[in-house]
Each structure stands twice: as structure tokens, then as C-alpha cells.
């Protein structure tokens, strides 16, 4: 058969090859996203995120063990995929509002590829999480280590998006990225708050799949700020068992 | 004698071909502009269990813009740096389309933040941020579409934007406070 | 509203979209249906956008699909390459429409700009006249670019029509299938060559004079 173009040499089917390309050469990955068949790329990236975050969730859950391994393995992919589903269109919408040529499918593929890259980096950190469990790091040390790992993965994903949009130099690309990050943080924060806990103290006797809904992250933060100023909405905090 | 050498990169002006995509007003963008505020009003309506915001939100958005737009044209025309009336109308239509596009991307996050919260106040904040963010982007787009060259015209556009934002924001806040209380 | 209710609502919207997409023939596989159900904010625009194809893109894909059912199948590009070619063709079509819209604007009329340059020169505003003349030149370059897009797309259209005709001929006379390879190669080369036009347009937009001079020498 003739006519295979350089940029998409080799079919972009759902394959380990696409994932390998994402890890090894993101410039070619970006060129492939721009060149056209984003449906297969999107499918591969969604699957990559689901599997990678399940592995990370299982690793975090293993800090406590037992059913928490399964709970966290189910919840973490839901958090990232849910946040992406709700936030990714904002990149195109905000850019288009400012005059950037709208390419919804390419933008969605770009965001999901960046998130998949971050998820893969997190999956690569699971030995460190297991090490933390093995050397019996304290709960708060584990929390801090987890935050650092997620921050590194998040920055790597963000760097990929910034690089892709900076090449294109369309109008409003910086504002589009800022808007995407803002929406992502708000939605991701709320969704992860709603589906907590992930990392649980080993001595916790019973762990629910998700905690009771006590309010949103926004309400918790504003409540904490008011409490810090001495303004309380109740006489005392409830004791366990109340 | 040209002040700009033909060999200089400045000699050939930038060709704004790609910008045509940006300045095209399509039925789709105007439809999004119409539906967006209704969707935001719907989020608030669902949370408080009242139908009022469904109609009131678009009424506030379009009513305020319609009421203040003539003032914008008069003011920038008075500075001597106004594009023709048709160009101003087109710029406003493009900005309205931009408002709809931005809101289309913010409706889902606002709906999620609103529906997953307990307090109605969170809904008001989420919807306000969506409307405000989309409006800010639309103002920025309007400014670039009008492409005025003088400082006076830029000040006029800025003041008009603040005033329109303030009036619409105040009306929206009153509506939200009323339905939430 | 609990998270469970939100989740049920999310899946319900996804189910509704899946049903609609299936009814209008946009849901092509079980994988598509599952993606629509679980990730409809991302998958639905993709699924619906697939329906929104340019007529030239459809023409190319249709011609290749028809030729696939003939003895010409062995010389055709694979599905992935065909999709990329179709995307390239669509991009060129969109750019031609953009150029038509730009050049239809009153402030992009070269005759008006030339008249303005003459008027400025008559008034002694030499520097302003020179700048206006540069604008006239740029508008000329835009028109040239538009004509090149039109020419290339017309030639691709004729090649596609020839491919469809050739596919029918080969169906009746399979022995001549081997002679059609050149036609397919020409079609693919023409569509791939649209990439050069895109690069030329980018160079024009960035004011890269050296590239512009070389491109005009080679065309």
C-alpha cells in the first residue's frame, strides 16, 4: 500500500506503541494529535489513565491494607477521569472565546494525553509509596510524600499542555491554560474531596467507601477560615459515635 | 522614501488570515450565547427549587448589554477613534458569541460544583464565577475586536466594561440572594 | 443532592446521548457506546464532529471506499493514511473558505488600498504611501495564495473523480488494475502537497521573506 505519511507512520490504534510514544517522544505525539486520528488516541489515553491511577490507588490503599486497596483503586481513576471529563472542554471554550482557532477534538486529546503522562509518572512512583509503607513512614509523612509526587506529575502534565499551545501561538492561549487550570483545580478538588478517603491510617478500624457528605470543599475551607477567626456555627464539634 | 526597509521583517505586515476564524459570527455561537445564561439560571433554579432564575438570568445578561451598548458607541465615537457603526455592532455580536462559547465550557464544572455542594451559597458562588469569567473573556474579546488606537478610547471601553459588569453583577447578586433566602 | 444521585444523573445523560447517537448512526461500535456512556463530555463532541465532515473530505473518503471494493484495493493507502489525507484536505478547504472571507472584507480590497496609496502620494505623504503599497503587495500575496488553494483543490477534485471512474473500469477489466497505481500515487502526492501550502501560508503570516521568495521561485 502506498501513501503512508511521515507524521503518522504506523497506525495510531489503541496500542502500547502510543503509550510508549507518549513517554519517549511527546513532540511526535503532539504532531500525531494535530494530524488527525484523535479518537484512537483518546481511547488509549483514557484506558491508560484508568489503569495507571488504579495502580496508584491500590498502592496508596495498601498503606492501610485490606479493603482500602480496592476502594482507592476504584476511586482514584474516577477522580481523574471525572475531573478531566468536566474540565477539559474549558480549554477549547476559553481559547475560542478569545479568538483561538477551535479544535475541540485535538484539545481533548491533548489534555487527556497530558493527564495520561502524569498518571504514568505517578504509576512509576508506586515503588516509592510501597517503600514508605515498608519503612513505616508516619501518616503525615506519607501524606506529604504523596502530595509531592502528585505535584510533580501534575506539573509534568501541565508542561506538556503549555508546550503544545505555545508552539501554536494562537491568541489567548495563556488565558486558556490559566482557565483550564482554575477549572481543573476547582472541580478536581471538589471531586476528590467528595470521594475521600484514599490514604488511611493503618490503625483505622472501619473504612467507608466514601465519607458522609458534610459539605463541599469550598464550604469546608470557608468554615475553617471562619473558625480560625473565632466564628463558629455550632457549640462544639461532634464526638465519634454522636 | 520608505521609513521601513523592504528587507526588514516589518516590511510585510502580519497577515491575519487565521484571525478570520476568530471574527466570524455564526448561528452556533449566538445560540450558545442564548442558551448559556439559561443553563446557569437552570443550575440555580434546580438548587433552590424555583423557576425564576431560569428566565431572569438571560434577561439580566441581554437586558443590561442592550441597555448599555448605545452608550459605548456614543462614547468611543466621541473620542474620534470609533470604527463604523456596523463594525461596532459586529464586534458586540462577536463578543456575545465569545461569551456563549466560554460559558459552554464552564457550565458543566459549575453544575457539578453546585450540585455536589450542600449550601446554596456555594451554588451562587459557582454560578457567579462562571458568568463572571465568561463575561470577562467577552469584554476582552470586545476590546480586541474594536481595535481602538487611542488611550482615550481604551479608557472608555474599560469604564463601559466596569459599569456593565457592575450593573449586571449587582442585578444577578440581588436575584441570587432573593431566591436563596 | 448526593454524589450517588449526581453519578446516576451523569450516567443517565450519557445513556440518553448514546441512544441518540445510535439512532442517528454515529455510534459505530460497543467501544463508542461505552465511551459515550462513561465519558460523554469528551466523547460526544468527537462522535458528533465525525458527522460534520467537509464535502471534499467526504468525497475523498467515499472515493477511496468505493475503490476499496474493486481490484484497485491493493494500491490504495491504508485506512489510517486515508484519514490523515482526508483531514489534510478538510484543512485546506477550511483555509480556502477563510481566505475567501478575508478577501471579501472591504478593508482588504487591493484596489481601494492602491487608490489610497496614490492619494497619499499626491498629498506628499511618502512614508504612509509606501506602507500602503506594502499592504497592496500583501493583499496580492493573499490573492495568489487563495488561487493556489483553489487550483490545488480543483486538481484533487478531478483526480478523485478520475479515481472513481478508474475503479469502475478496473471492476470491468481487472487486468488493467496495475496501471492505476500512478493515479493513486498522484492523488496522494497532491493531497500531501497541501502541506507545503500550509507552510507557505504560515511563512506569509509570520512575515518570513526568505521563505516567501524561495516559495515563489519554486511555484
pLDDT in tens, A165-189: 988 777 888 999 999 999 999 999 9
Residues of chain A in contact with residue C33, where contact means CB-CB under 8 angstroms, are: none
Instruction: Look at residues A85, A73, A4, A74 and name the one whose alpha carbon lies nearest to residue A45.
Output: A85
Distance CA C167, CA C145 (A): 33
Q: What is the DSSP letter of C78?
A: P
Higher-confidence residue of C204 and B91: namely B91
| Residue C162 scores a pLDDT above 80 | yes
DSSP per-residue codes, chain A: -----STT-S---SSHHHHHHHHH-HHHHHHHHHHS-HHHHHHHHHHHHHHHHHHHHHHHHTTT-THHHHHHHHHHHHHHHHHHHHHTHHHHHHHHHTTPPP-HHHHHHHHHHHHHHHHHHHHHTHHHHHHHHHTT--HHHHHHHHHHHHHHHHHHHHHHHHHHHHHHT-TTHHHHHHHHHHHHHHHHHHHHHHH--SS--TT-S---SS------HHHHHHHHHHHHTT--SSSSPPPTT-
On whether any CB of chain C is under 8 Å from the CB of B18, the answer is: yes
Check residue A219 and give its pLDDT.
Answer: 74
Contact B118 A101 (CB under 8 A): no
Mutate to test the interface with A, among C84, C91, C208 (most CBs of A within 10 A): C84
CB pair distance less than 8 Å for A36 and C84: yes
Cell triple for C16 = 440518553
| DSSP letter, residue C28 | -
Q: What is the mean pLDDT of chain A?
A: 84
Distance of alpha carbon A70 from alpha carbon A73, whole angstroms: 5
CA atoms of C13 and A174, how far apart (whole Å): 32
pLDDT at residue C138 in the model: 86
Q: How many CA atoms lie within 13 A of C121 on its CB side?
A: 13
Cβ burial, residue C6 (10 Å; 0-12/13-18/19+): middle
Q: Which of residues 29-68 of B touch C (CB under 8 A)?
A: none
Copy the grid coordinates of residue A89: 472542554
| Residues of A whose CB is below 8 A from C46 | 38-39, 42, 104-105, 108
User: What is the spatial distance between Cα A41 and Cα C203, in angstroms, rounded to a whole number?
Assistant: 30
| Binary contact (A46, C77; C-beta < 8 A) | no
pLDDT tens string C107-137: 788 888 888 889 898 989 888 889 888 888 8
Tens-binned pLDDT, residue by residue, of chain B (181 aa): 333 344 433 333 333 444 444 456 677 777 888 899 999 999 999 888 888 899 999 999 999 999 999 999 999 999 888 788 888 998 999 999 999 999 999 999 999 999 888 888 889 999 999 999 999 999 999 999 888 888 999 999 999 999 999 999 999 999 998 888 7
Question: Comparing A218-232, C22-36, C199-213, which segment has the lowest mean pLDDT?
Answer: C199-213
Distances, alpha carbon B153 to alpha carbons B66, B143, B149, B163, C69, in Å? 20, 10, 7, 15, 64
Most confident of the following: B23-32, C24-33, C142-151? C142-151
Q: Which residue of C has its CA nearest to B105?
A: C41
- Give the start-to-end residue ranges of the domains of chain B: 26-180
The closest of A96, A168, A172 to B22, measured between CA atoms, is A96
* Residue A81 C-alpha, separation from nearest chain C C-alpha, in angstroms: 8
- Chain A residue with the nearest C-alpha to that of C190: A3
CA distance A183 to A11: 34
Residue with cell 459505530: C28
Residue ranges of domains in chain A: 16-228
- pLDDT tens column, C42-85: 888 877 765 555 677 777 877 887 777 777 777 788 777 787 78
Q: What is the pLDDT of residue A47?
A: 92
CB spacing of A105 vs C45 below 8 angstroms: yes
Reported as type and span, the H/E element at residue B48 is helix B27-48
Reported pTM: 0.72
Given a cut of 70, whether residue A23 has pLDDT beyond it is yes
Q: Read off the C-alpha cell for C165.
A: 471512474
**Mean pLDDT value across residues C140-167:** 87
Grid cell digits, residue A137: 513512614
What count of other Cβ atoms lies within 10 Å of the Cβ of residue A186?
A: 21
Give the closest of B23, B108, B122 to A219, CB-based. B122
pLDDT reported for residue B109: 94
B116 contact A CB<8A: yes
Inter-chain residue contact A85 with C31, CB threshold 8 Å: no
Interface chains of chain A (3 or more CB pairs under 8 Å): B, C
Asked if residues B23 and B30 have their Cβ atoms less than 8 Å apart, the reply is no
Provide the pLDDT for residue C1.
64
Q: Would you give the DSSP letter of residue C75?
A: G
Cα–Cα distance between A153 and B119 in angstroms, integer? 33
Cis peptide before A197 (omega within 30 of 0): yes
Among all residues of chain B, which has the CA nearest to that of A214?
B118
C-alpha–C-alpha distance, residues C129 and C135, integer Å: 10
Per-residue pLDDT, C52: 53
Contact predicate A84/A111, CB 8 Å: yes
Comparing CB atoms, the residue among A2, A12, A195 nearest residue C80 is A12
Which DSSP string do the residues of C99-146 spell out, in sequence order? HHHHHTSGGG-HHHHHHHHHHHHHTT-HHHHHHHHHHHHHHHHHHHHH
Strands (E), chain B: none
Q: Which of B10, B20, B115 sits opposite C1 (nearest CB)?
A: B115
- On whether any CB of chain A is under 8 Å from the CB of C81, the answer is yes
Name the pLDDT band for C207 (thresholds 50, 70, 90).
Answer: low
What phi and psi, each to the nearest 5 degrees, are found at residue A25? -145, 90
pLDDT in tens, A46-104: 999 999 999 999 999 998 888 889 999 999 999 999 999 999 999 999 998 998 877 78
Contact B116 C209 (CB under 8 A): no
Contact B30, B93 (CB under 8 A): yes
C142/C100 Cα distance (integer angstroms): 10
Chain C residue with CA closest to A8: the answer is C81
Burial of B80 by CB count in 10 Å (0-12 exposed, 13-18 middle, 19+ buried)? exposed
pLDDT value for C213: 46
Q: How far is C117 from chain A (nearest CA, A)?
A: 31
Interface test with A, best of B137, B139, B140 (most A CBs within 10 A): B137
User: Cβ–Cβ of C101/B3 closer than 8 Å?
Assistant: no
Residue found by looking up cell 493503618 in the block: A202
- CB pair distance less than 8 Å for C43 and A42: yes
- The pLDDT tens digits of the residues spanning A110-149 come to 999 999 999 999 999 999 999 998 898 888 889 999 999 9
Do residue A213 and residue B99 have CB atoms under 8 angstroms apart? no
* Residue extents of the structural domains in chain C: 1-52, 53-110+136-218
Give me the residue from A7, A86, A105 closest to C41, CB to CB: A86
Q: A152 to chain C nearest CA, in Å?
A: 25
Interface probe, candidates B22, B29, B105, chain A, greatest A C-beta count within 10 A: B105
Interface test with A, best of B96, B110, B111, B112 (most A CBs within 10 A): B112
Of A13, A36, A195, which is closest to C87 when you measure between CB atoms? A36
Determine the residue of chain A that is closest to C14 in CA distance: A85
ipTM reported for the complex, 2 dp: 0.79
Are B2 and C207 inside 8 Å of each other by CB?
no
Amino acid at each position: 500500500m502506498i501513501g503512508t505519511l511521515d507524521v503518522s507512520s504506523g497506525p495510531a490504534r489503541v496500542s502500547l506503541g502510543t503509550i510508549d510514544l507518549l513517554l519517549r517522544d511527546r513532540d511526535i505525539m503532539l504532531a500525531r494529535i494535530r494530524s488527525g486520528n484523535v479518537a484512537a488516541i483518546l481511547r488509549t489515553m483514557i484506558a491508560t489513565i484508568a489503569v495507571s491511577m488504579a495502580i496508584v490507588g491500590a498502592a496508596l490503599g495498601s498503606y492501610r491494607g485490606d479493603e482500602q486497596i480496592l476502594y482507592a483503586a476504584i476511586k482514584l481513576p474516577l477522580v481523574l477521569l471525572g475531573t478531566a471529563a468536566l474540565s477539559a472542554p474549558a480549554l477549547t471554550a476559553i481559547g475560542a472565546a478569545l479568538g483561538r482557532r477551535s479544535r475541540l477534538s485535538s484539545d481533548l486529546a491533548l489534555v487527556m494525553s497530558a493527564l495520561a503522562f502524569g498518571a504514568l509518572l505517578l504509576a512509576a512512583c508506586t515503588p516509592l509509596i510501597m517503600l514508605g509503607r515498608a519503612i513505616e513512614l508516619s501518616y503525615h509523612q506519607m501524606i506529604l510524600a504523596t502530595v509531592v509526587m502528585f505535584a510533580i506529575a501534575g506539573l509534568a502534565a501541565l508542561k506538556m499542555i503549555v508546550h503544545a499551545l505555545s508552539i501554536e501561538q494562537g491568541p489567548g492561549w495563556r488565558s486558556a491554560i490559566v482557565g483550564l487550570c482554575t477549572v481543573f483545580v476547582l472541580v478536581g478538588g471538589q471531586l476528590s474531596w467528595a470521594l475521600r478517603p484514599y490514604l488511611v491510617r493503618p490503625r483505622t478500624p472501619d473504612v467507608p467507601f466514601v465519607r458522609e457528605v458534610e459539605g463541599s470543599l469550598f464550604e469546608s475551607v470557608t468554615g475553617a477560615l471562619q473558625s480560625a477567626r473565632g466564628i463558629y456555627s455550632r457549640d462544639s464539634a461532634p464526638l465519634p459515635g454522636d | 522614501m520608505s521609513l521601513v526597509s523592504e528587507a526588514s521583517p516589518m516590511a510585510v505586515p502580519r497577515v491575519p488570515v487565521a484571525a478570520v476564524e476568530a471574527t466570524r459570527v455564526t448561528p452556533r455561537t449566538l445560540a450558545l450565547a442564548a442558551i448559556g445564561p439559561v443553563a446557569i439560571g437552570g443550575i440555580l433554579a434546580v438548587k433552590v427549587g424555583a423557576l425564576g432564575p431560569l428566565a431572569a438570568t438571560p434577561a439580566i445578561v441581554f437586558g443590561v448589554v442592550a441597555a448599555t451598548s448605545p452608550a459605548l458607541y456614543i462614547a468611543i465615537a466621541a473620542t474620534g477613534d470609533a470604527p463604523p457603526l456596523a463594525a461596532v455592532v459586529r464586534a458586540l455580536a462577536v463578543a456575545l458569541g465569545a461569551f456563549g462559547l466560554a460559558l459552554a465550557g464552564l457550565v458543566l464544572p459549575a453544575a457539578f460544583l453546585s450540585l455536589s455542594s450542600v449550601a446554596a451559597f456555594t451554588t451562587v458562588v459557582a454560578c457567579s464565577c462562571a458568568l463572571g469569567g465568561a463575561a470577562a473573556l467577552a469584554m476582552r474579546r470586545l476590546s480586541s475586536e474594536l481595535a481602538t488606537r487611542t488611550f482615550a478610547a481604551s479608557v472608555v471601553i474599560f469604564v463601559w466594561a466596569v459599569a456593565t459588569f457592575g450593573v449586571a453583577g449587582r442585578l444577578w447578586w440581588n436575584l441570587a440572594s432573593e431566591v436563596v433566602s | 443532592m448526593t454524589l450517588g444521585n449526581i453519578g446516576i444523573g451523569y450516567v443517565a445523560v450519557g445513556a440518553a446521548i448514546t441512544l441518540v447517537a445510535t439512532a442517528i448512526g454515529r455510534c459505530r461500535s460497543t467501544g463508542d457506546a461505552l465511551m459515550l456512556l462513561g465519558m460523554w463530555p469528551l466523547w460526544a463532541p468527537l462522535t458528533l464532529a465525525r458527522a460534520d465532515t467537509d464535502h471534499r473530505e467526504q468525497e475523498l473518503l467515499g472515493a477511496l471506499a468505493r475503490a476499496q471494493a474493486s481490484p484497485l484495493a491493493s494500491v490504495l493507502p491504508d485506512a489510517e493514511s486515508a484519514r490523515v489525507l482526508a483531514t489534510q484536505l478538510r484543512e485546506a478547504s477550511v483555509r480556502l473558505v477563510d481566505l475567501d472571507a478575508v478577501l471579501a472584507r472591504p478593508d482588504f480590497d487591493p484596489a481601494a488600498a492602491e487608490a489610497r496609496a496614490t492619494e497619499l502620494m499626491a498629498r506628499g505623504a511618502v512614508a504612509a504611501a509606501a506602507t500602503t503599497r506594502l499592504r497592496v503587495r500583501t493583499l496580492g500575496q493573499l490573492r495568489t495564495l487563495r488561487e493556489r488553494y483553489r487550483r490545488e483543490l480543483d486538481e484533487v477534485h478531478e483526480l478523485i473523480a478520475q479515481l472513481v471512474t478508474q475503479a469502475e473500469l478496473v471492476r470491468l477489466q481487472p487486468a488493467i488494475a496495475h496501471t492505476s497505481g500512478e493515479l493513486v500515487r498522484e492523488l496522494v502526492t497532491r493531497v500531501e502537497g497541501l502541506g507545503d501550502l500550509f507552510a507557505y501560508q504560515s511563512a506569509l503570516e509570520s512575515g518570513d521573506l526568505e521563505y516567501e521568495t524561495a516559495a515563489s521561485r519554486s511555484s
